[in-house]
Amino acid sequence: DVKVTQSSRYLVKRTGEKVFLECVQDMDHENMFWYRQDPGLGLRLIYFSYDVKMKEKGDIPEGYSVSREKKERFSLILESASTNQTSMYLCASHGRTGTFKSYGYTFGSGTRLTVV
Amino acid sequence: RKEVEQDPGPFNVPEGATVAFNCTYSNSASQSFFWYRQDCRKEPKLLMSVYSSGNEDGRFTAQLNRASQYISLLIRDSKLSDSATYLCVVNNNDYKLSFGAGTTVTVRA
């Protein structure tokens, strides 16, 4: 089975801190995604990457950046954390093959970030 | 208008009951459709893909109506373990997925 691993389940950070959320997948997937999930709003796409060193903005990129130096790792960076970035952050990946239509994404277990 | 809309529920049903709910999508060019299940404080997990002809997986049946742009999920013979939030997910002509906010189902003994 594909495994998507997020480095932390729970994080508490202070306002203004720089925060790194790490995501690693072990199935050589080209495509990786970062979402945040908030009650009543569902999952919203922050950034995604189709390949190493490639990144594209999603629907809510403001206040975030990403890094993809290696194929298996996709990092989300909060340059200066703010309280409105308190949320559940979910990383996902999938391969660029026909199986996408049958299997969608595989998600990591999520990081619940609280900014105080 | 949101790209994917769902009735948030909650749908409270007794064990053994049938529960069904829909979701609507706004992009007529959407290509692929999925139902994901999400347990409290856990990540979403794929429940089933939804095919044009409709498909069944055990007690779960998914239907797609392209003309009216909605998909449905029906759960027969509900179990306590079916209590979860069900996310309607749509893919357009790329690799990004758009998620509904979820429908909460609670099955009571």
> Contacts of residue A40 in chain B, CB cutoff 8 Å?
8, 101
pLDDT of residue A11: 96
3-state secondary structure of A90: strand
Task: Give the mean model confidence (pLDDT) for residues A16-34.
Answer: 94
Residue B80, CB-side half-sphere exposure with 13 Å CA sphere: 2
Which of A78, A65, A73, A64 has its CA nearest to residue A91? A73
Backbone angles phi, psi at A5, to 5 degrees: -115, 125
Residue B23 exposed, middle or buried by CB count within 10 Å (0-12, 13-18, 19+): buried
For A45-98, write each residue's pLDDT tens digit.
Answer: 999 999 999 999 999 999 999 999 999 999 999 999 999 999 999 999 987 665
Task: Indicate if the pLDDT at residue B54 is higher than 90.
Answer: no
pLDDT of residue A102: 63
| C-alpha–C-alpha distance, residues A82 and B5, integer Å | 29
CB atoms under 10 Å from CB of A37, counted, come to 21
Unique residue bearing structure tokens 């990786």 = A32
pLDDT of residue B92: 78
pLDDT of residue A99: 60
What confidence tier does B31 reach under pLDDT thresholds 50, 70, 90?
A: confident
Nearest CA in chain A to B2: A41
| C-alpha–C-alpha distance, residues A76 and A32, integer Å | 11
Task: Indicate if the pLDDT at residue B93 is higher than 70.
Answer: no
3-state secondary structure of A33: strand
Task: Indicate if the pLDDT at residue B1 is higher than 80.
Answer: no
Task: Give the mean model confidence (pLDDT) for residues B4-15.
Answer: 94
Backbone angles phi, psi at A85, to 5 degrees: -100, 5
Which of A6, A36, A34 has its CA nearest to residue A105? A34
- Alpha-carbon dihedral angle through residues B18, B87, B58, A2, given to the nearest 10 degrees: -160
pLDDT of residue B57: 92
For A4-15, write each residue's pLDDT tens digit.
Answer: 999 899 999 999
First to last CA, chain A: 37
Instruction: Give the CA distances from residue B66 to residues B24, B52, B54, B63, in Å, rounded to whole numbers and listed in that order.
Output: 10, 8, 11, 10
pLDDT of residue A97: 60
Using the Cβ of A96 and the Cβ atoms of chain B, whether some distance falls under 8 Å is answered with yes
> Contacts of residue A35 in chain B, CB cutoff 8 Å?
99
What confidence tier does B91 reach under pLDDT thresholds 50, 70, 90?
A: confident
Given the DSSP bridges, would you call strands A106-107 and B84-91 parallel, antiparallel or unpaired? unpaired
Lowest mean pLDDT, pick from B3-17, B57-71, B91-105 = B91-105
Task: Indicate if the pLDDT at residue A33 is higher than 70.
Answer: yes
Total CB pairs under 8 A between chain A and B: 54
Lowest mean pLDDT, pick from A89-103, B3-17, B40-54 = A89-103
